[in-house]
Amino acid sequence: MILLRAEALAFASGLLIVLSFPKFGHGAVAWVALAPLLIALAGAPGPAHGFRLGYITGAISSLGLVYWTATVVVQYGGLHLGLGIAVMVALCLALALFPSLFGLLVVAWIRALGPRGLLLSPLAWVASEILRGNTLCNFSWCLLGYSQQPFPGFIQIARYTAVYGVSFLLAGVSAALAYIALEKRAGPRWMVGLVTAAVAAGVWIHGEWLLGQRWPESGRVKVGLVQASILQDEKWDPDRAIENVRRHVELTRAAAAQGARLVAWPESAVPFSFDRVPDVAEELRALVRQLSIYLLFGNDDHEDPPGGPYRAWVAAKILTPQGELALRYHKIRLVPFGEYVPLQPVLTLGGRFTARLVRQVADFTPGDEYSVGGVDGHHVSTFICYEAIFPDLIRQFTARGAELLVNITNDAWYGYSSAPYQHLAMAAFRAVENEKYLVRAANTGITGVVDPRGRIVERTELFRPAILVREVAFVPGTTFYAQHGDVFAWACLTAAAAVTAATWKKRR
């Protein structure tokens, strides 16, 4: 009966994590989301049971947050519904391994240190998150801290710690609540409660102070963001390719009429190799000359040298008002099972299903250069779609002098699911971490403008053609995070390893 109660608490934590994120939840829930799991872990008979409880939390939260992957692989990957659900479940079960590691560590610490082990649990949580983004899974979608994007006062610590510092704070509050619920002595309960409240208040006060400060500016530019809202079955229809480009052209003219100097089109707005279709290339060059604009657009690049291997890249380019190329960027972080297949030689041995999956997935080459382009003498960088969830990647552009960040994406894959809302919230953190304006052009939405404090100051609706024109600042300089990267998260991992080693030695 006690074990069933523990499993129910783990299930509750998984559900609370789901309810912390858009579009169905609210970020306030995240402050208590881990408390039920931690209470269950405090009563677990051993680390193996802690692993199991963490796995339950991880599986439920993953199912609730990335359920939309089934639709993507069925509708656009051509898989049978049953196989699509199997792919989604397999992903969720893999993601659940990281909360299960958290559960295992916390139980080991509690067994060695007593209830005080709960108070160290934020180290284990952040360790699990940094491992999730830097191991085979490589899928940092909806880390706990992202739930706080609607509360700008609490996310300003991301300029030092990235999203991981916010996750640490949330896990710390849940740990304090669990400790207070389990500790029988009034003195320690009060001490933990007061210290936790003081830390949270300090983070919020510092954040509110930063929100009142103005960021430096080296200039301003009026940006036009184009949302043509082209559905997936139309976007990749070769008979519609030229027509789709011209839909972007018409919206660009409307943006330029409102004074836009830099116009951004979404990912793959030009759904073929720009250099291989000279008529379209010349049409776009004529467009920028006529309107006197910079044009940033997504397309694909291809290379097929005689006797050499064929290669393709997901790309973005900037054309100057003179029609010259100011930036060429090749996407560095590709979408697994969408733009490349990890472990291809292994998967092709897995039977007809896995062989079919490998054949149907595009095989792009990752880029290797953090490109920075020029717009009216200022430095601009762009990143593409899924790359928005990798803080350590985006900071590289700032470290190389970027003063404005442009995110281009095609979220049509996700329909009206939670994914477009989740994706925007995660992208907004990159603005805070780098203290830069982030402007976002999304094919079907959500297109938006995020200020250097992570506030979404303007946005569009899903699946409606739109242009968004707004003046933004070029913001020079860097932040602690942009300069030093994930030192906080790796320090948490190191500390978690040290605590584990110390407790293991103590038990021996």
405 CB-contact burial (10 Å; exposed 0-12 / middle 13-18 / buried 19+) = buried
b/e code 75-95 from CB counts within 10 Å (16+ = b): eebebeeebbbebbbebbeeb
385 part of the active site: yes
**CA–centroid distance for 495 within its chain:** 25
In whole angstroms, give the CA distance from residue 107 to residue 47: 5
Catalytic residue flag (residue 403): no
Report the candidate in 43, 42, 39 with the shortest Cα–Cα distance to residue 11.
Answer: 39
Q: Which residues of 420-448 are buried (b: 16+ CB within 10 A; e: fewer)?
A: bbbbbbbbbbbbbbbbbbbbbbbbbbbbb
| Bridge partners, residue 330, by sequence | 315
The CA-based diameter of the chain, rounded to the nearest angstrom, is 78
User: Is 137 known to be catalytic?
Assistant: no
| Residue among 235, 317, 331, 436 flagged as catalytic | 331
- Of 504, 498, 507, nearest to 120 by C-alpha is 498
In Å, how far are 274, 293, 317, 324, 450 from 374, measured between CA atoms?
Answer: 20, 13, 11, 11, 21
Q: How far apart are CA 207 and CA 223, in angstroms?
A: 27
Amino acid found at 312: A
Write out the two tokens for 13: 């934590």
Q: Are strands 262-264 and 219-227 parallel, antiparallel or unpaired?
A: parallel
Catalytic residue among 142, 235, 317, 385: 385
Size (the chain), residues: 508
Of 129, 183, 235, 267, catalytic: 267
> Helix H segments across 212-348?
232-235, 241-257, 278-291, 344-347
| Catalytic positions | 267, 331, 385
